[in-house]
């Protein structure tokens, strides 16, 4: 209960408690590791070289997928920490791909070349993840250059890891003196001591990164980091089991392989959740932006016309003999109705409707109401920003309405082109007017169109001759 007697609601987002989830995953992994040594051994007949190749290939694809998600985050936020995580996952993806290729190509999976390449590249990726988790975050200034350097550097780091063991060849010791054929031969701590140390250090790096990312997930309410930390906890358990029982260098399936598979699945879920959350965020952002646009249109259009009508009505009340305000009030009413109809039409049309269709429909709606014939010559495929799109639609509606209401035009022509920018031309066969004449009710609409165009950095031109119609040209850069 709250102090005022209300019900207290838990406002913590779903992405919090990452540390609790990571600790729970760590406890489960430890319990399963101990359980493997108590229950009867796993049947080795379900393990094979093909299984390891499939597992490493799948892990490589998943890591590329997650790296692509991180790349999207980096493009949005320019985060140095995100860039380092991307580099680490790229290295791990290449490491799994290289390992899969070696497993297929080489006759003996425990060759020194394959063994130490796999161990060193895995340690490098895990260490880079740990480094990324501890590095103070800051924005990257030159995003494109930093990304090129990161990708090039990641590949360059793998070159000596592959080349040096390849040059040393058979002088390097294998993981196991004799690869076992059954689980009974896969005894505790049987592999080379240096390999045990490398895999234990890899597990420690994964664990350190998991703890740091879990803390960051709670601080920033980041669900992706939460699931990334859980995946890294499972990866740490995988390498701990590999250090105890090195099944990755055999044709057997054992606990480390199962943990590795579970870590891969957790990474898939993390990436899918990130994409889902990003799509939902974009939808919410689009809805909010559309609401702001409608509110801005109502403020700039209908609200201004209503304010003008109110001021003219007050004047008419005090000066009932003056009939001029009535004409201005009726003109403002027509503009307000047109603005409201335009807003309703914009809300009812698809947001991704092509500009030429939206512009033609908006102009046709006005022309139909005022009884004019419309000629359209609109170039297809033009793309403009939301502000420019809104401005062009409003200018087209205003220009068509003015041509008929004030110029008594019978035919109005609209042209839309790409000409050093977006070029809109509205011409009519109406009465025209003198541009140097005193201000009239027509001037308000012209002023509105001019201000809207120039506020976006465009050019607004109008030409008119009495008896020869009016032409309005709008050029947006």
The per-residue pLDDT for 13 is 44
Rounded mean pLDDT of 362-369?
A: 81
pLDDT more than 90, % of the chain: 9
Give the pLDDT band (50/70/90) at residue 231: very high
Give the pLDDT band (50/70/90) at residue 201: very high
The per-residue pLDDT for 7 is 36
pTM of the model: 0.62
Whether 304 is covered by a domain: the verdict is no
Q: How far apart, in Å, are the Cα atoms of 83 and each of 132, 151, 302, 346? A: 8, 10, 48, 40
Same domain for 247 and 164? yes
Residue 47: which domain range? Answer: 18-284
* Domain end residue (candidates: 284, 309, 328): 284
Q: 97 exposed, middle or buried (CB, 10 Å; 0-12, 13-18, 19+)?
A: middle
Rounded mean pLDDT of 16-41?
A: 78
pLDDT greater at residue 200 or residue 421: 200
Whether 198 is covered by a domain: the verdict is yes
Same domain for 275 and 390? no
10 Å Cβ neighbour count for 315? 15
pLDDT digits (tens, 9 = 90+) for 404-414: 877 788 888 88
- CA 141 to chain CA centroid, nearest Å: 20
Whether 348 is covered by a domain: the verdict is no
Q: Which of 198, 183, 127, 187 is nearest to 157 (CA)?
A: 127
* Domain end residue (candidates: 284, 310, 345): 284
CATH of the domain at 446: 3.30.565.10
Mark residue 17 as left, alpha or beta (left: phi above 0; alpha: psi -120 to 50; beta: remaining). left
Identify any residues that bridge with 461 across adjacent strands, giving them in sequence order: 473
Rounded to the nearest 5°, which phi and psi values hold at 414? -120, 130
Say how far apart CA 377 and CA 424 lie, in whole Å: 10
CA 253, 254, 255 angle in degrees (round to 5)? 145
- Coil vs helix vs strand at 475: strand
Whether 397 is covered by a domain: the verdict is yes
Same domain for 84 and 228? yes
Give the pLDDT band (50/70/90) at residue 97: confident
Say how far apart CA 391 and CA 385 lie, in whole Å: 10
Q: Which of 469, 463, 453, 359 is nearest to 412 (CA)?
A: 469
Q: Could you identify the residue written with the tokens 């501890």?
A: 134
Q: Is the pLDDT at 3 greater than 50, yes or no?
A: no
Whether 399 is covered by a domain: the verdict is yes
Give the pLDDT band (50/70/90) at residue 47: low
- 100, 42, 259, 60 alpha-carbon torsion, rounded to 10°: 20
Same domain for 360 and 280? no
Q: Is the pLDDT at 131 greater than 60, yes or no?
A: yes
Question: CB–CB of 48/103 below 8 Å?
Answer: no
CA 202, 204, 210 angle in degrees (round to 5)? 105
Whether 301 is covered by a domain: the verdict is no
The per-residue pLDDT for 335 is 66
* Domain end residue (candidates: 247, 262, 284): 284
Q: How far apart, in Å, are the Cα atoms of 41 and each of 36, 45, 429? A: 7, 11, 92
pLDDT, averaged across the chain: 78
Same domain for 259 and 383? no
pLDDT digits (tens, 9 = 90+) for 296-334: 666 656 666 666 667 667 766 766 666 666 666 666 676
Same domain for 363 and 273? no
For the chain, state the CA radius of gyration: 35
Q: Could you identify the residue written with the tokens 């308000």?
A: 444
Say how far apart CA 357 and CA 380 lie, in whole Å: 8
Longest pairwise C-alpha distance within the chain: 112
Number of folded domains in the chain? 2
């Amino acid at each position: 209960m709250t102090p005022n007697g209300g019900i207290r609601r838990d406002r913590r987002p779903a992405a919090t408690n990452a540390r609790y989830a990571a600790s729970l995953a760590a406890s489960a992994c430890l319990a399963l590791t101990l359980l493997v040594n108590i229950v009867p051994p796993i049947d080795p007949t379900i393990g094979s070289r093909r299984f390891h190749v499939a597992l490493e290939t799948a892990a490589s694809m998943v890591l590329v997928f997650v790296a692509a998600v991180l790349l999207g985050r980096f493009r949005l936020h320019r985060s140095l920490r995100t860039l380092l995580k991307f580099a680490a996952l790229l290295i791990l993806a290449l490491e799994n791909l290289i390992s899969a290729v070696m497993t297929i190509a080489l006759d003996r999976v425990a060759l020194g070349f394959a063994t130490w390449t796999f161990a060193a590249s895995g340690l490098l990726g895990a260490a880079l993840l740990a480094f990324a988790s501890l590095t103070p975050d800051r924005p990257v200034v030159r995003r494109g250059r930093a990304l090129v350097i990161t990708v090039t550097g990641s590949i360059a780091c793998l070159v000596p890891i592959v080349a040096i063991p390849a040059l040393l060849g058979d002088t390097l010791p294998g993981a196991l003196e004799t690869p076992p054929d059954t689980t009974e031969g896969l005894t505790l701590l049987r592999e080379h001591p240096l390999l045990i140390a490398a895999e234990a250090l890899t597990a420690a790096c994964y664990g350190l990164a998991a703890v740091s990312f879990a803390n960051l997930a709670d601080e920033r309410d980041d669900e992706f980091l939460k699931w990334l930390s859980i995946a890294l906890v499972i990866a740490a358990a995988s390498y701990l089991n590999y250090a105890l029982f090195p099944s990755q260098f055999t044709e057997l399936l054992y606990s480390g392989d199962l943990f590795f598979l579970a870590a891969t699945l957790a990474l898939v879920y993390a990436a899918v959740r990130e994409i889902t959350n990003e799509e939902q965020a974009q939808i919410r952002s689009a809805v909010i932006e559309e609401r702001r646009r409608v509110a801005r249109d109502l403020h700039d259009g209908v609200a201004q016309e209503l304010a003008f009508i109110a001021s003219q009505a007050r004047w008419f009340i005090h000066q009932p003999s003056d009939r001029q305000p009535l004409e201005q009030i009726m003109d403002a009413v027509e503009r307000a109705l047109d603005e409201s109809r335009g807003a309703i039409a914009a809300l009812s049309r698809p947001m991704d409707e092509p500009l030429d269709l939206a512009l033609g429909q908006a102009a046709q709606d006005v022309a139909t109401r005022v009884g004019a014939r419309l000629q359209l010559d609109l170039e297809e495929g033009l793309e403009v920003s939301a502000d420019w799109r809104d401005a062009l639609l409003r200018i087209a509606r205003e220009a068509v309405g003015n041509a008929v209401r004030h110029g008594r035009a019978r035919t109005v022509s609209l042209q839309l082109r790409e000409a050093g920018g977006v070029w809109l031309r509205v011409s009519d066969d109406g009465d025209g007017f003198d541009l140097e004449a005193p201000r009239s009710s027509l001037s308000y609409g012209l002023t509105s169109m001019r201000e809207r165009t120039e506020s976006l950095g465009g050019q607004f031109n109008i030409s008119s001759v009495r008896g020869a119609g009016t032409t309005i040209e709008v050029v947006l850069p």
